[in-house]
Amino acid sequence: MSERVSETPKPQPVLSVSPSWPNPGASVTLSCEGLKHQSAGWRFFWYKDVPDPSSNSYSIELLPGSTNGTEQNSFIINGPTHTAGFVCRAGREEPKFYTDYSKPKFVWSADPRPAASLSVNPDRVQHFRYDSVSLSCEGNSTEWRVMMFIEREGLSDFTCSSWGNMTGSTCTINISWNNSGVFWCESKSREFSNAVNITVQAHYHDGVILVSPVHPVTEGDPVTLSCRYKKQNLLSNVFFYHNNKLINNDSREELKISAVSKSDEGFYKCQHSGKESPRSWIVSTLSH
């Protein structure tokens, strides 16, 4: 009786990007990891994930300098200025073999002059389930589409039409539990807007959210953070945390930072009556 041989699935590398939210002009390092025996003749190929004008999907293009692969499992991109997705895979010549493509990872540009501007209404990072949120694109192109990226899902058909209603250049969605992700606008000519994070508070009835600006704060500008329930706009007796460290020893209504600096960057959350909000990243940018 002959032994049945099953086909071994191809390994899939894991791509990481650092930093994923770079300052304008900063370099980004891509790393293709998770493969065993990396010294055994692997060469690494690097791709850009770009919008496909003929559909709502994405296609990949080899990055310059990657045609023949690289010996190192890291690749530096100097001074990216636009939001972009990236993919990697590895291959060997003898015997000829290629891994699967990694899942895409995005670099979210902090370009102060993006091709389009994405505004969010209500203008905050965190939202409650079933909130109605509008995302509007403003730019030179007449055909913007709003896109959403969820880390665990990848990039399959995440245009507004899949999970909301697009009217002109505005996408309106009713927030559900799985709408936490990064949103941006893009055109068929591959122009991108700034990108924004949206985080959903899963506890609909008694959860709290941190009210924080959806866009980066300019260094030197003031910023005010507050805490709220679904049906109560401003809570008192609130504690605020910066990178999990309590930053006010008295309970208050708001956390006011008079002039934001680099030391203020990090994760913030609020706490009220023992209930904690999700955390949100506050980032500052240089004024121009």
Helix (H) or strand (E) holding 256: strand 254-257
Give me the pLDDT at residue 157, please. Answer: 45
- What's the one-letter identity of residue 100? D
Q: What is the pLDDT of residues 172-215, one digit of tens each?
A: 988 876 678 888 888 877 778 888 888 888 776 778 999 999 88
Give me the pLDDT at residue 230, please. Answer: 85
What fold is seen in the domain 111-202? Answer: Immunoglobulin-like (2.60.40)
Give me the pLDDT at residue 156, please. Answer: 45
- Minimum mean pLDDT range among 30-39, 218-227, 251-260: 30-39
Strand order in the sheet with 14-18: 14-18, 28-33, 74-77
Pick the CATH number of 206-287 from 2.60.40.1080, 3.40.190.10, 2.60.40.10, 1.10.10.10: 2.60.40.10
Judged against a pLDDT cut of 50, whether residue 46 lies above it is answered with: yes
Give me the pLDDT at residue 166, please. Answer: 85
pLDDT > 70 in the chain, percent: 86
Judged against a pLDDT cut of 70, whether residue 57 lies above it is answered with: no
Predicted confidence band at 45 (pLDDT cuts at 50, 70, 90)?
very high
**Which value, in Å, is the radius of gyration of the alpha carbons in the chain?**
22
Give me the pLDDT at residue 80, please. Answer: 62
Tell me the average pLDDT of the chain.
Answer: 82
Q: What kind of architecture, by CATH, is found in domain 14-107?
A: Sandwich (2.60)
In a 10 Å sphere around its CB, with 0-12 CB exposed, 13-18 middle and 19+ buried, how is residue 28 labelled? buried
Q: Quick one: tokens of 44?
A: 């690494």
Give me the pLDDT at residue 268, please. Answer: 94
**Rounded Cα gap, residues 263 and 252, in angstroms:** 22
> Under a CB-based contact definition with an 8 Å cutoff, are residues 89 and 98 in contact?
yes
Judged against a pLDDT cut of 90, whether residue 39 lies above it is answered with: no
Q: Quick one: tokens of 166?
A: 């697009």
Which residues are CB-neighbours of 231 under 8 A, at least 6 positions away? none
Judged against a pLDDT cut of 80, whether residue 162 lies above it is answered with: no
Q: Quick one: tokens of 124?
A: 């905050």
Using the structure block, give the residue that is written with the tokens 């850009």.
Answer: 48
Q: What is the pLDDT of residues 212-234, one digit of tens each?
A: 998 888 889 999 999 998 887 77
Predicted confidence band at 76 (pLDDT cuts at 50, 70, 90)?
very high
Judged against a pLDDT cut of 50, whether residue 3 lies above it is answered with: no
* 3-class state of residue 263 by DSSP: helix
The pTM (predicted TM-score) of the whole model is 0.76
Fold matches, 14-107 and 206-287: yes
Would you kindly state where each structural domain of the chain is located, as residue ranges?
A: 14-107, 111-202, 206-287
Q: Which of 39-43, 44-48, 63-67 has the highest mean pLDDT?
A: 44-48
Task: Report the first-to-last Cα separation within the chain, whole angstroms.
Answer: 75
Pick the more confident residue, 244 or 94: 244
Give me the pLDDT at residue 55, please. Answer: 64
Q: What is the pLDDT of residues 80-139, one digit of tens each?
A: 667 788 999 999 877 788 899 998 888 887 666 777 888 999 999 999 988 899 999 888
